[in-house]
Amino acid sequence: METFNLHILGCGSALPTLHHNPSAQVVEIRGKLFLVDCGEGTQIALRRSHQRFTAINAIFISHLHGDHCLGLMGLISTFGLLGRTAPLHIYAPGDLEPLLEAEQKVYCSHLDYQLVFHAIDTRQSAVIYDDRSVSIETIPLEHRVPCCGFLFREKPTLPHIRREMIDQYQIPLCYINVIKNGASWELPDGTILSHEELTIPAAPARSYAYCSDTRYMPHLHERLKGVSLLYHEATYAADKRDNAAKYFHSTAAEAAQVAADAGAGRLILGHFSARYNDESVLLSEAQAIFPNTILAREGLSVEVL
């Protein structure tokens, strides 16, 4: 199966502490690396994770709170010092662009690579990135500032050829891709072997949804139907539900309800309030609603299944 992995660099603590790093994740799909959010210290976490972080070609910023973007200029500068030449694409709310331009003039005015900024509208769902392997679309969220999540959808792959059929009927190797794309094969006696006889269906396409800072949205699950893996903020336990609503955050139980309503495969909780030295209370509340839940932690790598 093609690679589709999530690497958590920072759990997204609402307040950076010695316990957790600010938000940052690497999504790895078929050899491509995408960085999602870039809180302070992200480049240090990238080095510790042993990721090929110089191969990152796109960065996605959910919103302009410091714990999600203050590490960006440092990473941009480091890319320059390491001799990067490939363009770096940044997808973020439009208000970030003039800030980056001002910082670039001060800290790294002579980059040998191009920064390509893509302003995103956090109020609507739209495909903002698309290639042969993956499409990435925005997920409108409700926070104190314009904010969106990101939904990574793997592109379907071609079916697998049945090797025993190739060997038995001596089908030329040059014809394998033609069969994978839907063709049948005619034997010398005129017998037709159908595409279905010659192939095995590919594994279902997978998906990953990153739901950054947001209050509980009763209809959010409609955008996430059948998602393979969901990351959803869980800043508070249920006894702080009023705080969650006031500050536009979610409880662990609310995150689990989104996962359950969406029919998600798995749920990762993150963005914990600094009040919780032991986040097991959050995990227990979520698992009571959605059992297949785990807690985010620095250095955690999860295969998207």
- 116 pairs with which residues across the strands? 89
CB-based contact 153:134 (threshold 8 Å):
yes
Which residue of the set 37, 67, 131, 189 is catalytic?
Answer: 67
Q: Token pair of 286, please?
A: 């979520």
- Asked if 261 contacts 227 with a C-beta cutoff of 8 angstroms, the reply is no
Task: Measure the CA angle with vertex 10, ends 148 and 244; round to 5°.
Answer: 55
d(CA 232, CA 127): 20
- Rounded CA separation 63/304 (Å): 25
Q: Is 67 a catalytic residue?
A: yes
31, 74, 116, 139, 150 from 136: Cα distances, Å: 16, 25, 17, 10, 7
Catalytic site positions:
67
